Amino acid sequence: MTQDGRDRSLDYKLSGFDIAKGSWEARGSQDIAPQGASFVLPTTSSSPFNSTNLDYLLRNIGIE
């Protein structure tokens, strides 16, 4: 989430995976861009269950 990537997980830091926020590489394809009532969850690790509230959101909309 930070411009310099200092908030990246240890996995990303060790692998050298660094794409700057707002850079060309960080932009997604418009073909798969969120639309309507889509959820967008920024992650800071390789697992959305570890670094986001995805589990909480899914349970709130009735998915177990």
Which among 6, 7, 3, 15 is positioned nearest to 44, based on CA atoms? 7
**Please, what is the end-to-end C-alpha distance for the chain in angstroms?**
28
Q: State residue 62's pLDDT score.
A: 92
Lowest mean pLDDT among 10-14, 18-22, 34-38: 18-22
Tokens of 41: 């969850």
H helical segments located in 1-64:
10-15, 48-51, 54-60
Q: State residue 1's pLDDT score.
A: 66
Q: pLDDT grade, residue 27 (50/70/90)? A: confident
Higher confidence at residue 59 or residue 46?
59
Q: How far apart are CA 59 and CA 64, in angstroms?
A: 6
Mean pLDDT for 28-40 is 82
